[in-house]
Chains A and B, each alone.
Chain A
C-alpha cells in the first residue's frame, strides 16, 4: 500500500466511511509497520490541532470574548478551549452548562501544568533521506549545488537549468526532468513541478504518485504521462499510457479522469480544465530517458509516446524506430532468444539455442526498419540505416528470427501493436556474404548496454526485439 492509499484509508476511517475490506487492510497495515502507526497519529494530531485551533477558518464568527477574557488571564492554555466552547455553544447542544465547565477549567490550571509534563524524545519529522536517486543526466547544468550521479536525493528543491536528469524513486516511479525546470520532491509519492517539463513512468507499486503544479494536481493511476509548466504557470498534462486524475489546485470537485492519448490544460486560478489536442513534441527528448533508452545516435529514432505510435501503426523509412513494448514482465518460464552474448552478429535469426532464465523481471523494445512502400522480393535498393542506442540496464537477449519474434509478440509485444504477418526479423546472410557486405549487422557491446545496428530493409521488415533487465 502506498502512502496516498494509506492516507485515503485513514481519512475514510476518521470520517466513519471505511468499508470492512478497507478496514481490514488498514488494521493489517498498522499492525505491520510502526511507520504507519506514526503516520496515522500524524493525521490524528492534525485533526486535533484543527479542532482546537481551526477556528481561524471562520474569522467572522462571533467569539464569546466575555467568557474567554477571564480564562485568558489565568490560563492561556485554555483560551482556545473557551473559544471553541463559546463557538460551539451556538451550534452544538452541549450536555454541560458552560458555567460548570468554566469553573472546572479555572480550577484546572494547576493540574494542567502537571498534565503538560516532560515528553519523550522528539519524534518530529526529519527530512526523509533517499527518496530518489539521480540515475542519469545529459548535458545538465544546475542552479546551486549540482547533485552527483547516483546521489540519494531527499525532499527538497532541484533547479535544472538545462539538459536532462532522470530521477528513480525508491517506490519504482521514474521521472525525467527537462531543463529549465524547477522541481521539488516532497515525499516519495508527491512532487511539485513549478516550471519546466517532465515525463513520468509510474509502476503499480507507486500508483497515486502526485505531481502538483501551479494550476493542477496530477495523480497517477498507473501510467505514463508528461507534464509541462510554462513560466506563467500554464500547465499541460499529456497521458501516454493508462490514465491519470487531474484536479484544479485546492478544488474539492471530483477529479477529472484523463485517459491515454488525451491531453488537458489549465492555468492558475482557472475555474476549469480544458481538453486540448494530444501533442507530444515537447516530451520527445525526455520520454526516451524515462523509458530506459539513455542515448540514441545515428538514425535511431525513439517513437513518440502514445497509443498511435506502436508497431504496425507507424512507419518511417529513414530511421530505425525504437518502440518500447512491455515493462516489468516477470518471466515465469525460460524465454528462448537468438542472442545472449556480447559480440557482432550478421545472422541473428539463425543462432543456436539461447535462453533468458525464468524468474527475471524484464522489459522489451522492438527496433524496426520498415521502409514505406513495398519492394519486390530480392530487390536491392531498400533503405540502409545505421545507428546505436544505449539502455539503462543490461540487455539479456536479442530476438531477431521471425519464429521467435512471432512467438513472443503476445507476452512481450506492445498491447496495442499490430505485428501483421509479413516476413520480419534480421535477414539471414547469403552465401559468401562478409560482415561488411551491407547485410544486416548487429553488435552488442561488452557491457551489454549498447546495441549498434546496420540494417538494410527491402522486401522484409527488419525487426529485432530487445529484452532488457528491469
Chain B
C-alpha cells in the first residue's frame, strides 16, 4: 500500500515514528528542509519507479500517496 511505504520512507529519513505521520501531515509542519524533501522524493521515485517532475506541488503526505497511486495504476 502506497501510504504504508511512504510513511516508512519518511519515518526513516526524518527519524520520526510512523505514528506521527498521517495522510494530512504536511511536509512543512514536520520541519522538513528542501534537502530532506529531495531525499524523500528520490526514495519515493525509486520505490515506485515513478518520476516526480513537480515536487513543489506535493505539500502533504496524502498528495504524495495520491500521486503515486495514480501513476502506478497506469
Pairing of A with B? no
Interface residues of A (CB under 8 A from B): none
Interface residues of B (CB under 8 A from A): none
